[in-house]
Chain A
Amino acid sequence: MNHTHLIALLVLSPVAAGLLCALIRVRPLRIATIVIEALLLMACAGLLFREGAFELTLDPEVGHRGRMAITVLDFAILLYFFFVGVARRHLLAILLSLGQLVPLAVLELSWGNAPGATPTVIVDHLAIVMILIINVVGSLICLYAVSYMDDHEHHLGLTRSRQPRFFLWLLVFLGAMNGLVLANDLLWLYFFWETTTFCCYQLIRHDATALAETNALRALWMNLVGGVAFLAALMLMGIRTGSLGLRELTAQAVAGPLGLLPVCLLSLAAFSKSAQVPFQGWLLGAMVAPTPVSALLHSSTMVKAGVYLILRLAGAVSGSVFGAVVAIYGAFVLVVTSVAALMRSNAKSVLAYSTIGNLGLIILCAAINTTLSVAAAVLLTIFHAISKGLLFMSVGAIESRIGSREIEDMDGLLERYPWLTAVTTLGALSMLAPPFGVLMSKWVALEAVPGFGPKTAALPISLLLVCGSAVTIVFWVKWIGRMLSTRPVREQKPIEKLSVFYNAPLALLLVAVIALAALISPLMKLLVLPSLGRGGAGLSAGFASIETSVGAFSTWPMLVVLGVFLLIPALMLRRNHIKARSAYMCGENIGDQPAFHSLADQPQELRFGGFYFGQVKTESRLMTWSTIIGVLLLVISFWVAQ
């Protein structure tokens, strides 16, 4: 297959499939389209991985027409945003969309349709990693959405299905993300950037409730801030070099008269897309949308676009004060969001804060820009996508069963839904337990950070990273503990039956989580080390361990220990000689029931409550302060970038 065709399939086929879903209002056909498209995307991603790195400059004729098309679409999207702002009487949205419409017009007029001197598409290993994440995890989420949306609409009691519209935006989103990570021409990149904002807006407001509309608008204007910054960076680059290539930007950023300013502006755009601290509001608000949207936003699309851009820019900020400030900013985000997650009882908010924190960690690692730290960033991008995709999908499935996303309502969930609980527990454990990927990436990050060049920055970053890691463990374990809290087991409970569209994606991602923990070394060799683009000195992957220049982690022995010691009790379950007894309640327990004799011998059910560290008031104060500090750090970063 020709490279152009492969790229076209990756970018355009989801759009076509989306349109098909929107036009054909027959359910079986829609499902067939989604399944075929999901398989196609996975196959294309696999093919691209086999092809390896290449560059592609569009044929001038096609390139010209394509440029025209995206220009038209750019204006269409921006005008739509403008009208949304007018219709919802949202001054900020109006100003921000105008703030893009005018410069875009100037940009198009002055540079017009000059054929790009830079390749339109550059496929390198980082792009391949992103493509694999987007298309594998993203496709699984689309499959999951098939059953989930049925349940969802059943709960809402809709008479007329709104699924055609939903799958249109879901699939277009995937196409846009593919375009985003493949594009080297920044005008193309900008177009896909705005398209993801647009799809995100449509998906968040999908349920059309007042809250959904408000939160979608918030997501819109916050991402428009990023859009404005992006366009400003394009203007500056155009003025300075006349070239609008991402590769050129990273190559010559520091030398120019404007210094790092374009990089800084693009970073700001990335922070808004990745919901970093002053912008965290939109991602938290986005959870009003149906769960597949959250799963997609958090794992494979949208927020990953931000960190992808940061990873691209990492080369440009290397060793600069700006890089150090960004690293501190990332570490700061990690800590405040982890602390905020401690205070949340809503499972989806906990996941959202955890996402923002992990993205902060990725940004921190990218900004430090040593071999080790960038490897940590890429590893975390991969593993976070898998684990978070899994967690959101399982929480969504739980929500559609118990009708709540509160951790308090998941008390003792293991007794009710053993399979979903097992999936959620393993997903959560994969965020904190060795030798699962997320923890392995965190370990690489911890090894990388203290060796960071500017020592005045390395110390606070290490401190923040350590604090963030410690707090992270607590909120995950707290949650797992609530789900696993069960009565003495007496009989084997039946495992709940779910539709194949729930089970298959969950099972596949679960297998991926476990298999990749075992196969982390080959993964490093095949994907991560090449994507660093710097030979990988200071980091090597043996068969059984990962070795850095300053340490080593033996993954296989860990797995063996974990496996053996989890198997022993599992094998012992078969034997029935171990008697289960009721919990100690000062001898006032009522038989084997989780209940006790209370006042006046009245039976009292045993009830547990979670601990949320001061809750809402403390959290809002924390977020106010961290917003202020986050803005300050961003201002400082602008100041040092000049």
Chain B
Amino acid sequence: MNSIPFDTLLKVALALVLAPICGGLLTGLDRILTARLQGRLGPPLLQPFFDLIKLFGKEPITSNRLQRAFIWGHLAMTMTSLGLLVMLDDLLALTIILGFASVCLVLAGFAVRSPYSYFGAQRELMVLLSCEPILLLFAIAYYLDTGSFLASSALALKTPLLAALPLAYLGLVVALAMKTRKSPFDVSTSHHAHQELVKGVTTELSGRYLAMAELAQWYELTVLLGLIALFWPRPLWVGVLLALVSYLALILLDNASARLTWRWMVRTSWSVAVSAIVLNMIGLYILRR
């Protein structure tokens, strides 16, 4: 067995505990900001935690076992990807595992014969189709700059990643918007009231299973913000600031735009975001020649 140093394990454990706290606080911040933008006072900062604890305490009802298994898988895979990020491991592996986490959520939606859940799952699949190329291309662009897929190599760079990959950064922010279901990309489910699909892919989840999906969402948010922080890892606070600013920008976008169709989403992702990263890669080739 490859010996994993004890302090790495400790770091992973710490991250697994801290990430939901970060994710929850960010979600609370999101709700307050959104309320303020709508001229309301909004909930307290700790509101997402109350929601989560309440959900864990509710009667567990689900539609079937398969759904439960896939929700467990969804949470587990998201946590695994966070573990990989903390261990500064392979970004490509991380992307693939994060993708599989989404697959689990989609299958949890499909596993119930429910019209809303089914629609939501179809749309979540489209989100996956839109995100996956962006994230994979980001990993490849990262490799082109650093010469390795390991996240640790970003720390060794003299100039921050952002200088070499500004367009890839933009692409990643678009992926973040899709993964966190911010308008105009909130096609599969949404925290807002404008939801003709009821709650989309999470419609049939309730109690602790809904809480687990929410928790996975927080982990996912942390992972993606962590990826953004990699763009400026030295000193780390600049990277964290960059991630926070990106997230704030997305909250503004969320409130300033309407939800658009999934077709539009796929088209935007595959044309604008993907070509942004590709342009960035071409630029790298030309500059490094």
Contacts and interface: CB of A to CB of B under 8 A. Distances in A.
Contacts of B136: 446, 466, 469-470
B140 A484 contact: no
Contacts of A474: 125, 128-129
A562 interface: yes
Contact of A434 (B2, B100, B137, B150): B100
Nearest to B74: A565
B229 interface: no
Contact of A477 (B62, B107, B143): B107
A578 interface: yes
Contact of B80 (A439, A463, A552, A557): A557
Q: Is the interface of A mostly helix, strand, loop or mixed?
A: helix
A199 B287 CA distance: 54
Interface stretch (A151-159, A171-179, A569-577): A569-577
Interface stretch (B37-45, B85-93, B247-255): B85-93
A565 to B, nearest CB: 4
Interface stretch (A63-71, A91-99, A294-302, A580-588): A580-588
Contact of B76 (A443, A473, A482, A565): A565
Contact residue range for chain A? Answer: 35 or more
Interface in A426-477: 432-434, 439, 443, 446-447, 449-451, 455, 459, 462-463, 466-467, 469-471, 473-474, 477
A467 B100 CA distance: 16
Given A552-B89, A562-B73, A433 B100 contact: yes
Interface stretch (A140-148, A161-169, A320-328, A539-547): A539-547
Most central of B64, B73, B122, B133 by chain A CB within 10 Å: B64
B115 A471 contact: no
B61 A579 contact: yes
B280 to A, nearest CB: 11
Contact of B107 (A467, A484, A552, A573): A484
Contacts of A570: 65, 69
B93 A434 contact: yes
B72 interface: yes
A180 B137 CA distance: 39
A544 B1 CA distance: 6
Contacts of B68: 569, 572, 578
Interface string B98-112: 011001001101111
Q: Is the interface of B mostly helix, strand, loop or mixed?
A: helix
A486 B149 contact: no
Contact of A485 (B60, B69, B111): B111
A571 to B, nearest CB: 11
A331 B274 CA distance: 17
Given A459-B281, A462-B137, A551-B92, A486 B113 contact: yes
A210 interface: no
Interface in A513-560: 542-545, 550-554, 557-558
A114 interface: no
A405 interface: no
Contacts of B100: 432-434
B146 to A, nearest CB: 9
Interface string B111-123: 1111111100110
B203 interface: yes
Contacts of A558: 80, 97
Nearest to A595: B113
B117 A484 contact: no
B225 to A, nearest CB: 22
Interface in B1-51: 1-2
Contact of B112 (A466, A486, A561): A486
A434 B81 CA distance: 12
Contacts of B128: 470, 473-474, 477
A378 B69 CA distance: 33
A561 B148 CA distance: 26
A227 B77 CA distance: 48
A410 B68 CA distance: 22
A463 B270 CA distance: 11
B170 interface: no
B157 interface: no
A140 to B, nearest CB: 28
A565 B73 contact: yes
B69 A566 contact: yes
A455 B61 CA distance: 54
B278 A463 contact: yes
Nearest to B149: A551
A412 interface: yes
A489 interface: yes
A484 B66 contact: yes
Interface in B133-157: 133, 136-137, 139-140, 143-144, 147-150
Contacts of A459: 278, 281-282, 285
Contacts of B282: 459
A611 interface: yes
Contact of B122 (A467, A569, A611): A611
A606 interface: yes
Contacts of A473: 99, 103, 128-129, 132
A561 B140 contact: no
A573 to B, nearest CB: 5
A568 interface: yes
A581 B61 contact: yes
A554 B122 contact: no
Nearest to B83: A557
A585 to B, nearest CB: 7
B195 interface: no
Given A558-B97, A580-B63, A463 B137 contact: yes
Contacts of B118: 485, 608
Contact of A583 (B1, B113, B281): B113
B96 A434 contact: yes
A615 to B, nearest CB: 16
A254 interface: no
B114 A447 contact: no
A594 interface: yes
A434 B125 CA distance: 18
B62 A580 contact: yes
B165 interface: no
A591 to B, nearest CB: 14
Given A434-B93, A466-B132, A569-B72, 20 more contacts: A433-B100, A433-B103, A434-B96, A446-B140, A459-B278, A473-B103, A477-B107, A481-B111, A484-B110, A489-B64, A544-B2, A551-B93, A551-B148, A552-B150, A554-B89, A557-B80, A573-B65, A578-B68, A583-B116, A584-B203
9 contacts: A432-B103, A459-B285, A481-B109, A487-B64, A577-B60, A579-B60, A583-B63, A608-B113, A608-B118
Listed from nearest, the 3 A-B pairs whose CB atoms lie closest are: A481-B110, A583-B114, A551-B149
